[in-house]
Amino acid sequence: MLVSRTPKDFLQMHSLKARPKPLCTNYTCEVNLVDQTSVLLMAREGSQRFKNKNVAKFGVEPAKTTLLQWKIEQLLEVFSPERVILSSDSNDYLDLGSEYKISLHSRDKNLAESGSFAENLRTVAKQAQTDCVLYANGPCNPLIGPRRMREFLTSIDNENLLNGAFAVEELKGYLLYRNEWLNFEPGEKHLGSENLENPFRVVWALTCRSTKNVISQGSMFSACKPVLTVPTWTAVDIDYEEDLVIAEAFLGKYHEYEKKQP
């Protein structure tokens, strides 16, 4: 597949860049957590809702890449290559990962296509050689960039790591679930939107937990206690082709945030 920027181009640019300072008043906190964390980048080949999603083109020319490349490059701005574990049932995806010199895990196709999330998560987490793992949600959250990852990591303490740390986005509006009103009542008790109690949605690309507990429990978190709330535009999740269009529409906002000084 032809793209406007190759892994070699990125590695050449990346080798000339100084590592950004962490977003933390105590310099050691984010650095230590990064050093203790591996990233689980799980990318299976058989996307049902958006065919070939992982290699869909994303970005703006002349720096357009695939979604998978975009996510790998974001992760390499924060984590060393050996700490980024690409797990896939696709040889093409693994070949792409090898060009970035990241860690690779060839996942059984039956497991990737038919296994439970817990089974897949445990299998990949066992490849990690670090105390903690961050789940990258494949390449599905392209607007979760390096600065947002650092912001998330600095929000985590030891208790969070045991139970699992995660970020959320607020779902705003008048919502219903299973034919019942979720956060409002029509009629005399109607509330203005500014007074609604809104629910939240987990942002999977910002989930982190001790490796031991991920393997034993097959989950990235157990306690219902988010450590960070992110703006809705940040949390765009690519499930369908129209999600890709929405994410690209927010790229200006994404770059503006990433370039800001902490």
- Give the model confidence (pLDDT) of 172-181 as tens digits: 999 999 999 9
What's the whole-model pTM score? Answer: 0.87
Question: Is a pLDDT exceeding 80 seen at residue 92?
Answer: yes
Identity at 99, one-letter amino acid code: E
Q: Summarize the confidence of residues 219-235 as an average pLDDT.
A: 94
Q: What is the pLDDT of residue 261?
A: 65
Q: Is residue 196 part of a domain?
A: no
Residues of the chain by 3-state class (helix, strand, coil), percent to 5: 40, 20, 45
Give the length of the chain. 262
- Where does the chain have alpha helices with state H? 7-14, 27-35, 67-76, 91-99, 109-114, 117-125, 146-153, 158-163, 211-217, 241-249, 251-259
Q: Which two tokens stand for residue 261?
A: 């000084």
Average pLDDT, rounded, for the chain: 88
Q: Summarize the confidence of residues 178-193 as an average pLDDT.
A: 92
What total of structural domains would you count in the chain?
1
Question: Is a pLDDT exceeding 50 seen at residue 149?
Answer: yes
Give the phi and the psi of residue 255 in degrees, each rounded to 5. -65, -35
Q: C-alpha angle with apex 201: 195 to 207, nearest 5 degrees?
A: 135
Q: What is the pLDDT of residue 139?
A: 92
Q: What is the pLDDT of residue 51?
A: 83
Q: Is residue 254 part of a domain?
A: yes
Q: Is residue 182 part of a domain?
A: no
Q: Is residue 177 part of a domain?
A: no
Q: Summarize the confidence of residues 124-130 as an average pLDDT.
A: 97
> How far apart (Å, rounded) are the C-alpha atoms in residues 102 and 82?
5
Q: What is the CATH number of the domain that holds 111?
A: 3.90.550.10
Q: Is residue 191 part of a domain?
A: no
Question: Is a pLDDT exceeding 70 seen at residue 195?
Answer: yes
Q: Is residue 175 part of a domain?
A: no
Q: What is the pLDDT of residue 5?
A: 63
Question: Of 8-12, 25-29, 133-137, which gets the smallest average pLDDT?
Answer: 25-29
pLDDT category, 62, cuts 50, 70, 90? confident
Q: Is residue 121 part of a domain?
A: yes
Domain that holds residue 100: 7-168+202-259
CA dihedral (115, 119, 124, 126) in degrees, to 10, reads -150
Which distant-in-sequence residues (6+ apart) come within 8 Å of 227 by Cβ? 152, 155, 156, 160, 165, 166, 167
Q: Nearest Cα to 202, choosing from 115, 130, 117?
A: 117
Q: Is residue 195 part of a domain?
A: no
